[in-house]
């Protein structure tokens, strides 16, 4: 056949499949033999010259080989361009035939106890005698908070104040223990309090206040201290020393059903099955909120705005209120359930009761305050789970990576078969978890700021009251006992302490920076400065403003609540970027 006598129109379209590429050619004449098509391909791949060349067997074989080499190169280049990296599949580790209670977030940032790599098959029938109830010790948040109350309050002693150019306000207390022939000294700084005892035999004559202060802290540069002459000074000093001590705690309780992995699903549960009700009875007793007289943990006890019931218990002299998600108000149409999250998202520690084998991922609950979760899952004691058998409880703990470990340690395996032992363990673990969370970076910075503000207020009030006792007019009168108020109920004392610190700071702005008022005009409300240094305090106030109404009774005095434009903040710290619910009247 004469190839020169025919004109070809060519369409080139490579389709890459599992077997390489195919070059398609369309000729004007549709009737074409396979031999003719092969010659046309060879002609196109040959030299640009239009001259007809004899086709030899060796040349044909060589060109076919070159054709497939070209196709292979094109295919390899195109595949490399389209290559992508698929994310690894979600693998849920099975431990002992069931999924673990807690899985680490994809972004990390949490530790888990027991660790996943150390988990082995657990048997609910295993005995647990490794740890007894005597090992369940409750941590003390501040071991030196009650030293003044114990060794100074009921003995003759002196207190002094000073303002150091580098250390800030100082409050010194000195007591002579004649029976032991020693001096006991406490020096209060912005960061901490320093305590020491010195034998009287070390001194030829009793040292001065400045010398005692420098013996505890060599960075003290003041040359003299002022004597405190206020009769109620011991009350104010004791209140400051014990501002971190609280006998009240509040914890969240989440109910996670089978297959629920998101915050919206977990917070949307309103029905409680029999096993969950039984678990709540292990924690405490269900009480009616209306008219409740114990620690209420910010819940409404007058108008039912936070539900009608809650779980409450007393434990070793402490009162604990549980914010149970299923007992808090449910709002139709609100996927985030802010009426529930405003309480649970503002707790520091939460329990997660799991119905089924779905693991809990700690970062699904977005909150600036929640730092620790304790997951509990009911497991069968035997392979068949006899009728009436209450079963056993498996426990796992997870917390943010900057939270130090805390006791009591989990038994091995982490299975509890007795409800009384489980209650003792969980309540101790919850309290210790909150105390340990205060040592995290976020809370430790806030506590330093809170303590600094409270110490500033204590120093100012002691100085002012002492001047009044000596007949000198104070620079600005203070309400009686403002600094001596104990820490009323709050989130483990932390939130209430921050409120007090803000009131102290507001008063400091009045006395240091505002002009004196003349006449009977209404004083202007102070606004916190809008600077980067106070940004964290303004953020924390968003939470405090939201909780302020529920923390106080409806018949409380308006002056006890922070006011002013600087406090009218509605963004919820529990849910970043989401508006907080408006406080109802």
Determine contact, residues 481/232, Cβ cutoff 8 Å.
yes
* Residue 365, pLDDT above cutoff 70: yes
Within a domain: 474: no
* Residue-level pLDDT at 246: 86
Within a domain: 351: yes
Q: What is the DSSP letter of 75?
A: H
**pTM of the full predicted structure?**
0.65
* Residue-level pLDDT at 15: 40
Q: What is the CATH number of the domain that holds 309?
A: 3.40.50.11210
Within a domain: 251: yes
Choice between 445 and 77, residue whose per-residue pLDDT is larger? 445
358 and 237 share one domain: no
299 and 152 share one domain: no
- Please state, in angstroms and as integers, the Cα–Cα distance from residue 513 to each residue in 92, 164, 516, following that order: 60, 20, 10
Distance CA 293, CA 489 (A): 12
Give Cβ neighbours of residue 296 (< 8 Å, ≥ 6 apart).
289, 310, 321, 489
234 and 272 share one domain: no
Residue 420 belongs to domain spanning: 110-115+247-381+390-439
For residue 16, the number of C-alpha atoms closer than 13 Å in the C-beta half-sphere is 11
257 and 235 share one domain: no
218 and 254 share one domain: no
267 and 368 share one domain: yes
154 and 238 share one domain: yes
Number of H helices, E strands in the chain: 12, 16
296 and 318 share one domain: yes
Find the angle CA(164)-CA(167)-CA(169) to the nearest 5 degrees. 60
* Residue-level pLDDT at 535: 53
Within a domain: 72: no
258 and 342 share one domain: yes
> Residue for token digits 């779980």?
311
Encoded tokens for 517:
């008022």
Within a domain: 434: yes
Choice between 18 and 249, residue whose per-residue pLDDT is larger? 249
Within a domain: 42: no
Q: What is the CATH number of the domain that holds 208?
A: 3.30.1120.160
Report pLDDT digits (tens) over 336-352: 898 999 999 999 999 99
Distance CA 531, CA 251 (A): 33
Instruction: Phi first, then psi: give them for residue 459, nearest 5 degrees.
Output: -60, -45
Within a domain: 191: yes
Distance CA 476, CA 482 (A): 14
294 and 434 share one domain: yes
Q: Which of 242, 270, 286 is the last residue of a domain?
A: 242
Determine the angle formed by the axes of helices 233-241 and 441-469, rounding to 10 degrees: 180
Report pLDDT digits (tens) over 95-147: 445 688 999 998 889 999 988 765 544 444 444 444 555 558 888 887 788 89
Mean pLDDT of the chain: 74
Report pLDDT digits (tens) over 279-338: 999 999 999 999 999 999 999 999 989 999 999 999 999 999 999 999 999 999 888 898
- Three-state SS sequence of 263-309: HHHHHCCCCCCHHHHHHHHHHCEEEECCCCCCCCCCCCCCCCECECE
Determine contact, residues 41/32, Cβ cutoff 8 Å.
no
Helix ranges (DSSP H) in 292-440? 338-344, 419-437
SS3 113: strand
257 and 306 share one domain: yes
Our count of domains for the chain comes to 2
Report pLDDT digits (tens) over 179-194: 888 999 999 999 999 9
Determine contact, residues 25/41, Cβ cutoff 8 Å.
yes
Distance CA 121, CA 130 (A): 18
Q: What is the DSSP letter of 186?
A: E
304 and 189 share one domain: no
Percent of the residues in the chain that have a pLDDT greater than 90, as a whole number: 46
Determine contact, residues 241/146, Cβ cutoff 8 Å.
yes
Within a domain: 410: yes
Q: What is the DSSP letter of 131?
A: S
């Amino acid at each position: 056949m004469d190839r020169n006598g025919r004109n070809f129109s060519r369409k080139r379209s490579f389709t890459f499949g599992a077997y390489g590429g195919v070059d398609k050619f369309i000729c004007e004449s549709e009737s074409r033999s396979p031999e003719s098509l092969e010659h046309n391909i060879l002609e196109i791949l040959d030299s640009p010259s239009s001259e007809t060349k004899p086709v030899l067997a060796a040349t044909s074989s060589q060109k076919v080989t070159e054709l497939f080499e070209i196709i292979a190169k094109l295919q390899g280049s195109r595949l490399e361009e389209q290559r992508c990296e698929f994310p690894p599949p979600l693998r849920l580790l099975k431990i002992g035939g069931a999924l673990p209670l807690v899985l680490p977030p994809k972004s990390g940032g949490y530790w888990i106890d027991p660790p996943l790599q150390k988990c082995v098959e657990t048997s609910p029938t295993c005995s647990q005698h490794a740890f007894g109830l005597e090992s369940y010790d409750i941590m003390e948040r501040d071991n030196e908070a009650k030293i003044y109350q114990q060794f100074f309050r009921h003995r003759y002693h002196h207190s002094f104040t000073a303002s150091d150019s580098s250390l800030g306000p100082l409050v010194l207390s000195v007591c002579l223990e004649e029976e032991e022939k020693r001096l006991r000294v406490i020096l209060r700084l912005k960061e901490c309090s320093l305590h020491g005892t010195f034998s009287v035999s070390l001194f030829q004559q009793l040292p001065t206040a400045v010398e005692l202060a420098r013996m505890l802290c060599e960075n003290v540069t003041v040359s003299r201290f002022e004597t405190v002459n206020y009769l109620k000074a011991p009350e104010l000093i004791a209140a400051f020393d014990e501002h971190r001590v609280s006998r009240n705690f509040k914890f969240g309780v989440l109910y996670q059903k089978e297959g629920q992995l998101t915050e919206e699903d977990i917070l949307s549960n309103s029905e409680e099955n029999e096993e969950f009700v039984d678990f709540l009875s292990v924690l405490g007793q269900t009480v009616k909120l209306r008219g409740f007289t114990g620690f209420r943990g910010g819940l409404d006890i007058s108008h039912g705005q936070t539900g009608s019931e809650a779980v409450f218990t007393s434990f070793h002299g402490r009162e604990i209120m549980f914010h149970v998600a299923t007992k808090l108000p449910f709002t139709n149409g609100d996927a985030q359930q802010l009426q529930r999250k405003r309480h649970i998202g503002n707790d520091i520690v939460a329990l997660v009761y799991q119905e089924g084998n779905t693991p809990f991922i700690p970062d699904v609950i977005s909150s600036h305050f929640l730092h620790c979760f304790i997951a509990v899952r009911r497991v069968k004691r035997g392979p068949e789970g006899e009728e009436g058998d209450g079963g056993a409880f498996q426990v796992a703990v997870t917390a943010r990576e900057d939270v130090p470990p805390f006791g009591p340690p989990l038994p091995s395996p982490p299975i509890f078969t007795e409800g009384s032992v489980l209650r003792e363990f969980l309540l101790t673990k919850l309290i210790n978890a909150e105390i340990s969370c205060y040592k995290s970076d976020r809370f430790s910075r806030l506590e330093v700021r809170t303590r600094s503000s409270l110490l500033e207020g204590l120093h100012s009030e002691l100085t002012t009251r002492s001047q009044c006792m000596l007949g000198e007019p104070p620079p600005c009168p203070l309400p009686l006992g403002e600094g001596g108020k104990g820490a009323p109920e709050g989130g483990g004392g932390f939130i209430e302490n921050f409120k007090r610190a803000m009131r102290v700071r507001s008063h400091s702005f009045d006395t240091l920076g505002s002009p004196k008022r003349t006449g009977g005009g209404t004083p202007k409300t102070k606004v916190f400065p809008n600077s980067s240094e106070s940004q964290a305090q303004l953020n924390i106030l968003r939470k405090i403003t939201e909780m302020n109404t529920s923390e106080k009774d409806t018949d409380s005095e308006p002056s006890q609540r922070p006011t002013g434009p600087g406090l009218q903040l509605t963004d919820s710290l529990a849910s970043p970027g989401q508006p907080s619910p408006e406080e109802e009247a």
